Amino acid sequence: MGEQGQQKVACSDAKLKMNAIDNELSKIVGLDTLKMQLRKWLKGMVLDERRRAFGLITGPRKLPQFAFLGNPGTGKTMVARILSKLLHMVGILAQDRVIEVQRTDLVAQYIGQTGIQTRDKIKEAEGGILFVDEAYRLVPGGETSKDFGLEAIEEIMCFMDSGKAVVIFAGYTEPMKRVISSNEGIRSRVSNIFHFDDFTCEQLANILRLKLPNKDENSPFYGFKLDGRGTSVKDVAALIKRGTSGEQRRKMNGGLVDQMLLLKARENLDSRTDVECSDISSIVAITSEDLAVGLWLLRDEE
């Protein structure tokens, strides 16, 4: 293939990758600022591939490092997994892999063991993403030389400097702000800080619609679908608003959708379905009634 043909192939590949990027980003509900920023970075990386295809030499890009701030269930882990997939696709990460850790995975009980334990986890994450959940617990109550969590932080910062992986610090907003502001090492390395707001009722309805039907055979939602009556985004949003409190939504966020679907609505579908039912479609169709009962049961457990 001649040079012109190689360039055409590179252009075609770039377009396909941008389409794949847009498809993956569309799975993220809300978080418009984050999606715009990720698309901008990823587009730059795709363009770097085109430049190389044209025989142009450009400097390497520094791996981005992140802090994700927000309540549980706001999509921090899900975004990390999508980011891993996309960075691997554009050739920035060697592997599509997210290693999730918390304080208990990194900090040991005895002197000299935390560094070893942390380095073991870091080794697992090489070429992928190290996702440090509840990262503020590594600096409990402020910076103190007596806490082994600081040793784990030092090991992670050295890892960030090596350029061998992406690191994401995640956790509740206010404790994470405290950690970032009190630790110059983290503050200087983490230049990409994103706030994950609580989901609105409409956004929760959109998440529900994205989960059904589900093409992942390992998903508990695989094989099920939403009944076509009374399950539009507008209908489901109104149902969620009526059936939950603001405090409940704030505490659960996206987790509310999983609980409502998996443990409650599906149970109601099983309860009301006759085992001798001949209508194949109805035994996998979750209705607005199932969702309403699921929300009621969920509220009743509080």
Q: Is the pLDDT of residue 2 over 60?
A: no
- In angstroms, what CA-CA distances link 276 with 265, 273, 279, 284? 20, 9, 9, 14
Q: What percent of the chain has pLDDT over 90?
A: 44
- pLDDT, tens only, 116-164: 999 999 999 999 999 999 999 988 765 455 678 888 989 999 999 888 8
Instruction: State the Cα torsion 183-184-187-188 to the nearest 10°.
Output: -160
Give me the pLDDT at residue 97, please.
Answer: 95
Question: CA distances (Å), 123 to each of 38, 61, 102, 127, in order?
Answer: 26, 22, 15, 9
Chain-centroid distance of CA 37 in Å reads: 15
Quick check: bond before 213 cis, omega within 30? yes
pLDDT digit string, tens, across residues 245-296:
888 899 899 989 987 777 788 889 888 888 876 678 888 889 999 999 888 8
Which pLDDT belongs to residue 39? 93
Q: How far apart are CA 237 and CA 234, in angstroms?
A: 5
Q: Give the pLDDT band (50/70/90) at residue 183.
A: confident
Q: What is the pLDDT of residue 53?
A: 81
Closest among 249, 71, 66 to 173, alpha carbons compared? 71
pLDDT value for 141: 65
pLDDT digits (tens, 9 = 90+) for 167-180: 999 999 999 998 88
Residue type, 106: L
Alpha helices in the chain (DSSP H): 3-25, 32-53, 76-89, 103-106, 113-125, 149-162, 173-182, 184-189, 201-211, 233-243, 246-252, 254-258, 266-272, 288-300
pTM across the whole model:
0.85
Comparing CA positions, the residue from 212, 269, 272, 267 lying closest to residue 236 is: 212
Contact 194/93 with Cβ under 8 angstroms?
no
Query: What's the burial of 233, exposed, middle or buried (CB within 10 Å: 0-12/13-18/19+)?
Result: middle
Q: What is the per-residue pLDDT across 271-285, written as a single tens digit (0 to 9) for each?
A: 888 887 667 888 888
Q: Which DSSP string corresponds to 139-199?
A: STTS--TT-THHHHHHHHHHHHHHTSSEEEEEE-HHHHHHHHHH-HHHHHH--EEEEEPPP
Closest CA to 229 of 266, 182, 189, 282: 282
Residues 107/75, Cβ–Cβ less than 8 Å = no
Alpha-carbon distance 200 to 203, whole Å? 5
pLDDT at 197 over 90: yes
CB of 212 closer than 8 Å to CB of 261: yes
Band of pLDDT at residue 301, cut at 50, 70 and 90: low
